[in-house]
Amino acid sequence: MANHKSAIKKARQDEVRRLRNRMYKTRFKNAAKKVEAALEEKNKDAAKTALQEAISVMDKIVTKGVVHKNTAARKKSRLSLKVNALVASA
């Protein structure tokens, strides 16, 4: 356990940040799962709208520094490929 006053404050701040980052990461994952669920149902409209929402969420989380920009770009790219393949298979 931290002994100095500054170390105690830092530990407290780290805990708050950890919980906030966990919330953001959960939103990140849930957005991706929503797109995957729409793809499973082969619902093109739902997949497109879920993808737009997921991209928005991922971009916001990147700006907060919770997830690396390349990680978000990779996830967005893979989801986009799957949605585009579904739409093209009309």
The 10s digit of each residue's pLDDT in 20-54 is 999 999 999 999 999 999 999 999 999 999 999 99
Pairwise pLDDT comparison (3 vs 41), residue with the higher score? 41
pLDDT at 79 over 70: yes
State pTM to two decimals.
0.84
Query: Using one digit for the tens of pLDDT, what is the confidence trace for 49-77?
Result: 999 999 999 999 999 999 999 999 999 99
Domain ranges of the chain: 27-88
Contacts for 36 with CB less than 8 Å, ≥ 6 apart? 79, 82
The single residue listed with the structure tokens 């919770």 is 66
